[in-house]
Amino acid sequence: MNKNNKSIPYTALSNESIEEIKAVVENKKLRVAIYCRLSEEDRDKENKEDDSRSIQNQKLMLTEYAIRQGWEIQGVYSDDDYTGADRNRPKFNKILELAEQKEIDIILCKSQSRFTRELELVEKYINGLFIEWGIRFIGLVDNADTEVKGNKKSRQINGLVNEWYLEDLSDNIKSILKSKREKGLHTGGLVLYGYQKDPKKKGHLIIDPKAAKVVREVFSLYNQGMGKTAIARKLNNRGTPNPTQYKAQQGIAYKTPPSELGTKWKYFSISNMLSNEMYIGNMVQGKYGSVHYKSKKNKPKPKEDWVIVKGTHEPIIDMNLWNSVQSKINANFKPFSGGKIGIFAKKCKCKNCGYTLKTSKSHGDRYLRCPTRQVDKSSCVGSFVAEKTVERTVLKELNSLIKQYLNVDQLEEKVILNQFRNDKELLQKEIKQYQAKVNKYGKALKELFMQKVNESITQEEFVSLSAELRKDKEHIEALLTDKQKKLLELNNEQETLKSKRQLLEQYVNVTELTREMVDNLIDYIEVGEKDPTTKKKSIKIYWRI
């Protein structure tokens, strides 16, 4: 030993100390989080306040299992009335948070599908992050267990089957809804103001006397010559609850709180009511459609795709009054003299409340004003601006944009075009390579199937190998789709740049706006209050270019 180095004294642990450490390690209980979810097929609540029996049964089964294993139950988390494809489940996300923070050791569910039906989340969490975080996942009835060697393939196959289930379920639901709608049955959760669900006949609507009285009053007032804004103001001054507030008072639950949806009658709520065929006894449904079976977002459908069935329920408005009101609506649509639509019609929004500004006339000049301010002064400070002011602002910004865009020198433009060409060539080469790989995997799957037919391999081997091949093939197909999408985007971007130049070249040194120009160039314009310093109106333009 080097004399300059001091030796470190070693103190041997006594037998008693060793036994104490062993006891602590052996007695440390694993922390388990139990997760339950109510699925669509086993919903059987006795009342809205209680958990479903399904949830109760899951809790009992999983709790007993955890106790038998000697685990410490950190908590029992349940999501009721949520699908396995919903990523916004509150308790599901709480479990993920606990796992990431390593506050639990095990996640215990009835089955993998109760945790998630999405293959993407199976791969991301169960086969990925949980293993990194040292979290064991157990699906009790389908034997999904991340601690069991060789269990990954079965989890992946389960994930794939669950993914197909979601897609099939979505198609089935759409088909059922379409069939019901075509029969004139009401399929929505909420009912149009003025009606209520018939407790004796599913899918049938009956009149709500109290709300129907307000609907009749609205139609009558408009027929007598009162404007939509004036009607909304009258109802607000009288304290009549708007449809959202009225339904909340009836105990109808909203996912979005009524306070966020607004509690005042507004121009557009009156306008929509006056043109809704439901009030003459026609069932109008299918105005919106989902973007994708995994998404809750909806997009509006063209009117020709709506499902309209006549005479399905008792009308609130008789045909004479309806026809009279529709005639007045059509006759009153004169936004500009000569029957032409205003250059900023439906283009300007109030910065404070988000509602579309209405056009009004005063002493020969046109103004844009917030309809919310007109119907209820307390709910919005209101945007108000002269149309000429908006036009001057748009022209100034437009000429500045044109100057910046068209002043790109030839050398810079050439560099951009060369980059486009190089990127396109690279993408086309990669697409060709991926396509060849996809074909190769397709051929391999066919050959594997023939081996199974010829009994060269067992059923178990076929399932295992085909699952791996399909996974690899799907991965390559996803990459191929991504490259094809990028190529399409690149082509679109190139065409967009070309069309932008051609578009802007038309408006060099423009001094006056037209409706066509506004439609082509502007998405919308946001109008706010005056700046206290500059005393100028706050006008923000959202360009399409």
Residue type, 138: I
Q: Which of 64-73, 327-336, 348-357 has the lowest mean pLDDT?
A: 327-336
| Cross-strand bridge partners of residue 540 | 526
Tracing tokens 């909304």 back to the chain, one arrives at 232
CA distances from 254 to 157, 453, 507 (A): 37, 55, 48
Query: Does residue 499 have a pLDDT over 70?
Result: no
DSSP 315-346: -SS-HHHHHHHHHHHHHH--SSGGGPPPTTTT
pLDDT the model gives residue 215: 95
What is the Cα–Cα distance from 505 to 525, expressed in whole angstroms? 23
Tracing tokens 């569910």 back to the chain, one arrives at 109
Closest CA to 354 of 528, 202, 519: 528
pLDDT the model gives residue 319: 92
Question: Is 441:477 a contact under the CB 8 Å cutoff?
Answer: no
CATH superfamily placement of domain 195-333: Putative Large Serine Recombinase; Chain B, Domain 2 (3.90.1750.20)
Query: Does residue 3 have a pLDDT over 50?
Result: no
Options 3.40.50.10490, 3.40.50.1390, 3.40.50.300, 3.40.50.1860; which CATH number does 17-171 get?
Answer: 3.40.50.1390
236-268 burial code (b ≥16 CB/10 A, e <16): beeeebbbbbbbbeeeeeeeeebeeebbbbbbe
Cβ neighbours of 322 (radius 10 Å): 20
User: Which H/E stretch holds residue 514?
Assistant: none
pLDDT the model gives residue 48: 44
Question: Is 192:278 a contact under the CB 8 Å cutoff?
Answer: yes
Query: Does residue 267 have a pLDDT over 50?
Result: yes
Non-local CB neighbours of 382 within 8 Å, separated by 6+ positions: 350, 352, 369, 370, 372, 373, 374
How confident is the model over 432-484, as pLDDT tens digits?
Answer: 888 888 888 888 878 877 887 787 888 887 777 878 878 888 888 888 888 88
Helix, strand counts (H, E) of the chain: 18, 17
pLDDT the model gives residue 452: 75
| Residue 532 CA neighbour count, 13 Å, CB half | 0
Query: Does residue 219 have a pLDDT over 70?
Result: yes
What is the Cα–Cα distance from 530 to 40, expressed in whole angstroms? 53
The confidence band for 290, taking pLDDT boundaries of 50, 70 and 90, is: low
Quick one: tokens of 80? 């009721």
Cβ-based burial of 235 (10 A; exposed 0-12, middle 13-18, buried ≥19): buried
Alpha helices in 70-208 (DSSP H): 90-100, 112-115, 119-121, 130-133, 152-182
The confidence band for 205, taking pLDDT boundaries of 50, 70 and 90, is: very high
What is the Cα–Cα distance from 280 to 147, expressed in whole angstroms? 63
In percent, the amount of the chain with pLDDT more than 70 equals 73
Query: Does residue 209 have a pLDDT over 90?
Result: yes
Closest CA to 471 of 168, 153, 166: 153
Do the domains spanning 17-171 and 195-333 agree at the CATH topology level? no
The confidence band for 260, taking pLDDT boundaries of 50, 70 and 90, is: very low
Instruction: Name which residue leads in pLDDT, 43 or 251.
Output: 251
Instruction: Name which residue leads in pLDDT, 135 or 24.
Output: 135
Residue 306 sits at φ, ψ, to 5 deg, of -70, 155
Question: Highest-confidence range of 54-58, 148-152, 537-541, by mean pLDDT?
Answer: 537-541
Write down the mean pLDDT value for the chain. 77
How confident is the model over 111-151, as pLDDT tens digits?
Answer: 888 888 777 787 788 888 888 898 999 988 777 888 876 55
Query: Does residue 49 have a pLDDT over 80?
Result: no
CA distances from 501 to 386, 401, 407, 514 (A): 31, 11, 11, 19
How confident is the model over 365-385, as pLDDT tens digits?
Answer: 888 888 776 666 666 666 788
Query: Does residue 298 have a pLDDT over 80?
Result: no
The confidence band for 25, taking pLDDT boundaries of 50, 70 and 90, is: very low
pLDDT the model gives residue 336: 42
What is the Cα–Cα distance from 264 to 244, expressed in whole angstroms? 9
pLDDT the model gives residue 258: 45
The confidence band for 230, taking pLDDT boundaries of 50, 70 and 90, is: confident
Q: Give the mean pLDDT of 219-238.
A: 87
Query: Does residue 98 have a pLDDT over 80?
Result: yes
Non-local CB neighbours of 313 within 8 Å, separated by 6+ positions: 195, 204, 205, 206, 281, 283
Q: Which of 28-32, 168-172, 521-525 has the lowest mean pLDDT?
A: 168-172
Residue 75 sits at φ, ψ, to 5 deg, of 175, 160
Non-local CB neighbours of 129 within 8 Å, separated by 6+ positions: 99, 100
17-53 burial code (b ≥16 CB/10 A, e <16): eeeeeeeeeeeeeebbbbbbbbbeeeeeeeeeeebbe
Tracing tokens 């489940």 back to the chain, one arrives at 89
pTM: 0.41
Non-local CB neighbours of 282 within 8 Å, separated by 6+ positions: 308, 309, 310, 311, 312
What is the Cα–Cα distance from 480 to 469, expressed in whole angstroms? 16
Q: Give the mean pLDDT of 203-230.
A: 90
pLDDT the model gives residue 195: 94
Each domain of the chain, given as residue ranges in start order, spans 17-171, 195-333, 410-482
Instruction: Name which residue leads in pLDDT, 208 or 68.
Output: 208
The confidence band for 4, taking pLDDT boundaries of 50, 70 and 90, is: very low
What is the layout of strands, in order, in the sheet containing 365-369?
A: 358-362, 365-369, 384-386
